[in-house]
Structure 1
Amino acid sequence: MSFPALDLDLDGIRGRVTPNFGLDAVTWFRVGGPAQALFQPADADDLALFLQRLPESVPVLVIGVGSNLLVRDGGIEGVVIRLSAKGFGAATRLPGDRIRVGAALPDKRVAAFALEQGLSGFAFYHGIPGGIGGALRMNAGANGGETRERLVEVTAIDRSGRRVTLSNAEMGFTYRHTAAPDDLIFVDAVYQGEPADPATIRAAMDEVEAHRERAQPIREKTGGSTFKNPPGHSAWKLVDAAGCRGLMIGGAQVSEMHCNFLINTGSATAHDLELLGETVRARVLATSGIRLDWEIKRLGIPLPGETVEPFLGA
């Protein structure tokens, strides 16, 4: 499937626009249709100018490193923006034991930079396979730590190209969610660290990494944790109790190692993965009465005849 070319005003734009870019190349599941146009801005000023020029009628969607993302097989209409490490991947030390990091910087690299600076509080990022932009959007957390516990403020650019700054309180963080407007594109963030002995920080990071190695299928084509933990429950336990460990649909499988992970075994389509996820949700609802919510972001349009109903229409 391909989309018609967009009529874009690119005068003075320094970034790269690629029509009908196959998003399967940049998602960790390695599935999904094309973006009508993929824009990779050179820097924040370039992004602001592009958005100022872009007609309001053209949809805009931002993706990060593609780790917590399922793009449907029909692709994504409009412009998909992907921030580059070159333009949005810097990390700098600030006064007062703070650090400023670009939104394209991988979470794991933030933990490493904090270690280099002798600042604790970021070891949990060592175990999250994503980037800071996504971490801000979903209050990413692991191993007892969350983004909101360290964030000071965020710089973002809105749909009109205006630069805005949001405090921690204005982000409205809750579990795996922020109340920040959907049209904001995060470009960098300031975090608060705490001075600590590097050996202590390194030990905490090693513990996080060891846990991931033992418990998660990190060498598979997966999107990370599939479902949010319901209050008072662990999603993986509910999935296991519903008899879904190892369940397969097409080339998609519920991980045998950790049942809150879906895996592309090699031939899966986005439809296979979404259908498997909704099958799991339906079985958990039937066996426990609990409605699991997706943690993975599902984006785009399905191919004709491949729409998947939530809970399979239950």
Structure 2
Amino acid sequence: MSRTEEQGEVPVGGSLAHRVPDLGALELLLAVARLGSLGRAARELGITQPAASSRIRSMERQLGVALVDRSPRGSRLTDAGALVTDWARRIVEAAEAFDVGAQALRDRRDSRLRVAASMTIAEYLLPGWLLALRAQRPDTAVSLHAGNSTVVAERLLSDEADVGFVEGLTVPTGLDSVVIAHDRLIVVTAPAHPWARRRRPLAAGELASTPLILREKGSGTRQVLDAALGGLARPLIELSSTTAVKAAAVSGAGPAVLSELAVGEELAMRRLVRVPVEGVSLARDLRAVWPTGHRPTGPARDLLSLTRG
């Protein structure tokens, strides 16, 4: 305690927070005025009487005036205490209005969730996460925009999405991220394709030099594959969704490289065949992303929690 406070004088200068009692102390003073007893005020606020006494004494030292006269018959406000109580009532009412307004902002934020996700995550992971989120937040309206990783970044940076999910090799500039899952790209063909009958794994160089059914530039799948192989041949076909690439491969149009997440059913039903590859790793991280310095809150935070669960 400073010498000024020991002498019962009000400190001059400094921030307002150091000169004005906190809301808890003001609420206690209002309760004492209403109930006429420090003990009853303490019980109403869920604190002990010694804690209440200490808080009143601290407020008196802070303001430099006596606020409450204590006696065996109860607690009575001093003239200064009555005046401070009037001021305290206005502050508490203003704080209550502030709280109502803040809650309205939270309710508006929580009433919607805008998600942007790259295609594989949007098609094969997000439906389950969003169903789980609906069980937690049935009143939150969710919109989902699916596009490649570049589009996801653009929507986040233009405030058109609250949280995003990408599959690319790197985190787009201006975004923070966290890894929420792992994935692997695999080479697949229709059963009639010559690669489906290979006895030896496909060499990375042969894969790189072969025209493939590919996603468009800017997609996470294309970025990972291009970086792993050090370049790709001109695409056999270039398509804008995982589903379209898969359908083209099933039809026998040519080999494709797709996420393991996307082709489980086709492999099990033998509509596609997995072609082993040696000399290259096609593993990748799946990430949740958001604008730098603005970590998700509300429904976006809850969705992020579900993805990592």
Relative to its length, the structure with more helix (as a share) is 2
**TM-score range for the pair, normalised by the shorter chain length:** under 0.3
Which of structures 1 and 2 has the larger relative contact order (alpha carbons within 8 angstroms, sep 6+)? Answer: 2
Normalized against structure 2, the TM-score is what? 0.24
Relative to its length, the structure with more strand (as a share) is 1
Normalized against structure 1, the TM-score is what? 0.24
